[in-house]
Structure 1
Amino acid sequence: MADGYEFVVVANRLPVDRTVGDDGEQHWTRSPGGLVSALEPIVRSSGGAWVGWTGAPDDDTGPQEVDGIELRPVPLSAEDVDRYYEGQSNSTIWPLFHDLVEPPVHRRPWRQAYDSVNRRFAEATAEVAAHGATVWVHDYQLLLVPAMLRALRPDLRIGFFLHIPFPPVELFMQLPRRAELLRGLLGADLVGFQRPHAAQNFLQLAAGLLGLEPDDDRVAYEGRTVVAQAFPISIDVAETDRLAADPDVQREADRLRAELGGDRRLLLGVDRLDYTKGIEQRVEAFGELLAEGVVSNDEVVLVQVATPSRMRVAQYQQLRERVEREVGRINGEFGAVGRVPVHYLFQSRSPAELVALYLATDVMLVTPLRDGMNLVAKEFVAARRDEQGALVLSEFTGAAAELDDAFVVNPHDVEDLKRAIVAALDAPPDDRAVRMRRMRARVQAHDVDHWAREFLAALA
């Protein structure tokens, strides 16, 4: 479109993955994930554009149209990936925004690369957006883009949504160039967060760091009004329900139960292998329950799916070693020939495979030390059409505010984890059904489409 696109999404990644077939031709397939499910139909129906990285270093792929969406790749060199993405984004901002679960690393070249890459995203967006267009920027990798884009294109309506937690004032103040990052977000007209207290943290920073004067959920800045509100993200409920009703998925769930020992009750964890997810504490709690004789290898089995993530970052490599060492110790001490208490899968699973696991599960363990929302909890609830299964849920997830019929737990407290696991295992079927019914109603009423519509209506 010669004069630009009326709606533009800006995210670190494009909504598609590129593969090269045996014929040498390139093919694009839709990336998994709730964000793509929510926004792809809106971008397509509006004839919009999506600005992002292809996911491959030194990829010079030019603009593409795929399924009615204009894709504008922002190329990143291997050095950009190392410094902007693995460095400043995931070794500095990520741990600090997650309450310092791991110490953040501060390096000047990383900050310089972050600035440079954010500027390239802003420039690419300015080129494709029509006059007066709506632009929706996403997540912690692009905190500087709203202000950079505002400087280039003051005619645009700019929204920003942060998918991870926003830290309290005393943590944010530790960041080098903290005022610049805050001004980056203030370039937006609407800044969205997962939880109300995150929006409050943002407004308190605007007052304390920049001397602004917030009024309720808004603050005047450079002649504009910036609004900060909570918009809890959700999942594609219809797609999860479709998979749960699929006879092939149901047969796979039956097979899994039989293979894991049909007489044993199944505990399940599904996480990226990340130090914020509480995997170590979860495995430790289960090991202690076995050691104390509260549960036995003949009665209960834990399946932990750990999706590989950021494995070039040293903290993630060390986490993998610690988890696998503890799983080996537990299996060696409490297992039997052909029957182990912990099945640890360091691999990705398809959506259908995950739903089959959800259907086979007695107790779902979603126990991050800190999480903006956690969509696995909502996927599990949406999948349980039988209104059975129990959810053990960390109080430090955004989901806990919505799914308060879960067995809510402090994941930092191993004794509390053990208590919640036992309570969920021992809960009567009618109690589990009542809890699940209420949680399902909440998730069904607030799906990912509702989230996107609510944000865009507020931005408009």
Structure 2
Amino acid sequence: MTRLVVVSNRVTSPRQARSGAQGGLAVAVQAALEDWGGVWFGWSGELRDTGAEEPTVFRSGQVTYATVDLSSQDYEEYYNGFANRTLWPLFHYRLDLTEFSRRTLSGYQRVNQLFAERLRPLLRDDDLIWVHDYHLIPLAEQLRHAGCRQRMGFFLHIPWPALEVFLALPNHREIVHALCAYDLVGFQTDNDVRGFVNYIKLEAGGEVDPDGTVRAFGRRLRVAAFPISIDTARLAGFAREAVFARQTVRLRESLRGRKLMIGVDRLDYSKGLPQRFRGYEQLLEHYPENRGRVVFLQIAPPSRQDVPEYLQIRRQLEATAGHVNGAYAEFDWMPLRYLNTGFSRRILAGFLRLATVGVVTPLRDGMNLVAKEYVAAQNPKDPGVLLLSRFAGASAELDGAVPVNPYDVEGTAGAMQAALSMPLEERRERWESMYRRLETHDVDYWRGAFLDALSAMEPAACE
């Protein structure tokens, strides 16, 4: 029987995945592995002086978990370096923050080689291999060099940049060549597919058929959009149950009848948080009727705290939040609550349900599952309004959201005002359209669509 082998930068334990404390990807991968049986392989999260010689392997139910340690040098060059200071900013259109060095590129290739060497002995000839995200683009190429001919699929969770942006990467051809070692490459949106196809046609001299078949670098593969989603029914259940939870009740009581606007984002420069804060400040300035009547809660747990750009944006947001509260707060009202802490998905579902407006305004995002979670968490009888950046992948699906250009601060303030004053009938109409989409296109649909497409591929197709 065909097994599923999932490879990701980090591996989530079965207890964490089932607890609801982890994100949607971990839950989706766990469910797929339990259905198929198979292996989940990746970094353990541990650092050692030399890295581990052999993977740590244990089994739980139908799933085998295999993890490797990294050395401090590997972590600095592969993860902090090329993955998160080269690929991440460039793929999010931040050329001003993109750094390139041959040292970190070497570390990136070295860790992918390590993963391939440690994974290969665990593989069977008929395995289906599913690799996730920008950390591991070269993995299939490394496995092919080692003689592996299994069907291999890759899914990119972040955006793929437009051709003109991608060409700024000095080793752009090397990256695309590596991706063509997969049999199936999945992107979040049609725009991402279009960016990749443009490279194949205009730079690589390849061919692309209308069905997404790509011929380039002596390989034949397929590319397509597979928009990732959420466990819609489960999230809606969390939200209903959380109405009377202690944390939700505390938040509701602290509002004292005021309307709640909420943002939930990992602390990252791609999320547009400084622009969002300034948009809210413009709301209070130009629509003074909201003063004392609206509270904006921004939850932004820190990430990659050893990367300088993330320390900088944290300081910037703290200063902006202090400025807004200093300018508009009253003795019994603080307009902006800014929290650098995380909450479980259950607690967040209750907070999202309370919010009159969900604010999701990234400067660039592959999908943004918070937008979908906000919709799923709403009370069907009295739903809130989703403000959604046109530069988030989710905007291609959630047609009932109020579109926002996060670079237009005054326009963002106007969109906030429109959302706060939107009548119930229009709110219901917008919400119903989005929720119907999420019911039929949930995380199970996403997982099934990708794996069905990968299963249908001919393994190791060479021209």
Q: Deviations over 1:164-218 (max 9, x none)?
A: 0001111111112221111110000110000112112112212333222222212
Match of 2:260 among 266, 272, 282: 266
Please name the residue that 2:37 is paired with. Answer: 47
Considering Cα pairs closer than 8 Å and 6+ residues apart, tell me whether 1 or 2 has the greater RCO: 2
**Structure 1 segment 15-30 matched on structure 2, within 5 A:** 15-16=12-13
Distance (whole Å) between structure 2 residues aligned to residue 33 and residue 344 of structure 1: 21
Tell me, yes or no, if the aligned pair for 1:15 and 1:30 is still in contact at 8 Å. Answer: no
Match of 1:394 among 385, 389, 392: 389
Tell me, yes or no, if the aligned pair for 2:138 and 2:178 is still in contact at 8 Å. Answer: yes
Cα distance change of structure 1 residues 30 and 298 upon mapping to structure 2, 3 Å threshold: closer
The alpha carbon displacement at 1:386 in A equals 2.7
Distance (whole Å) between structure 2 residues aligned to residue 226 and residue 197 of structure 1: 19
Distance (whole Å) between structure 1 residues aligned to residue 426 and residue 141 of structure 2: 50
Using the aligned pairs only, state the percent identity.
40
Amino acid paired to 1:196: D
Amino acid paired to 2:233: A
Q: Secondary structure at the match of 2:46?
A: coil
Q: Deviations over 1:290-322 (max 9, x none)?
A: 233434431111100001111111111000000
The alpha carbon displacement at 1:235 in A equals 0.6
Match of 1:330 among 324, 337, 348: 324
Aligned pair 1:185/2:179, yes or no?
yes
Match of 1:419 among 411, 414, 417: 414
The alpha carbon displacement at 1:250 in A equals 5.3
Amino acid paired to 2:385: A
Please name the residue that 2:6 is paired with. Answer: 9
Tell me, yes or no, if the aligned pair for 2:177 and 2:217 is still in contact at 8 Å. Answer: no
Cα distance change of structure 1 residues 36 and 359 upon mapping to structure 2, 3 Å threshold: same
Amino acid paired to 2:343: R
Distance (whole Å) between structure 2 residues aligned to residue 30 and residue 113 of structure 1: 33
Amino acid paired to 1:275: Y
Distance (whole Å) between structure 2 residues aligned to residue 305 and residue 245 of structure 1: 21
Please name the residue that 1:136 is paired with. Answer: 130
Cα distance change of structure 1 residues 30 and 432 upon mapping to structure 2, 3 Å threshold: closer
Q: Deviations over 1:80-123 (max 9, x none)?
A: 11111111111110010011275201122110000001111222
Cα distance change of structure 1 residues 432 and 250 upon mapping to structure 2, 3 Å threshold: farther
Tell me, yes or no, if the aligned pair for 2:229 and 2:369 is still in contact at 8 Å. Answer: yes
> Which residues of structure 1 form unaligned runs of 5+?
20-27
Distance (whole Å) between structure 2 residues aligned to residue 67 and residue 197 of structure 1: 39
Amino acid paired to 2:453: A
Q: CA RMSD in A?
A: 2.1
Cα distance change of structure 1 residues 412 and 17 upon mapping to structure 2, 3 Å threshold: farther
The alpha carbon displacement at 1:367 in A equals 0.3
Q: Deviations over 1:420-441 (max 9, x none)?
A: 1011011001110111111111
Cα distance change of structure 1 residues 311 and 18 upon mapping to structure 2, 3 Å threshold: farther
Amino acid paired to 2:282: E
Amino acid paired to 2:164: E
Matched length? 449
Match of 1:457 among 428, 452, 460: 452
**Structure 1 segment 174-253 matched on structure 2, within 5 A:** 174-216=168-210, 217-221=212-216, 224-246=219-241, 249=244, 252-253=247-248
Amino acid paired to 1:391: L
Q: Deviations over 1:269-296 (max 9, x none)?
A: 1000101101101100111222334344
Distance (whole Å) between structure 2 residues aligned to residue 420 and residue 109 of structure 1: 45
Cα distance change of structure 1 residues 419 and 29 upon mapping to structure 2, 3 Å threshold: closer
Distance (whole Å) between structure 2 residues aligned to residue 291 and residue 102 of structure 1: 31
Q: Secondary structure at the match of 1:106?
A: coil
Tell me, yes or no, if the aligned pair for 1:101 and 1:275 is still in contact at 8 Å. Answer: no
Please name the residue that 2:111 is paired with. Answer: 117
Cα distance change of structure 1 residues 272 and 53 upon mapping to structure 2, 3 Å threshold: same
Distance (whole Å) between structure 2 residues aligned to residue 82 and residue 248 of structure 1: 43
Q: Deviations over 1:361-416 (max 9, x none)?
A: 00000000000100000001111133510000000011001101110111111011
Amino acid paired to 1:152: A
Distance (whole Å) between structure 1 residues aligned to residue 440 and residue 134 of structure 2: 28
The alpha carbon displacement at 1:72 in A equals 1.3
Please name the residue that 2:65 is paired with. Answer: 71
Please name the residue that 1:38 is paired with. Answer: 28
Please name the residue that 1:25 is paired with. Answer: none
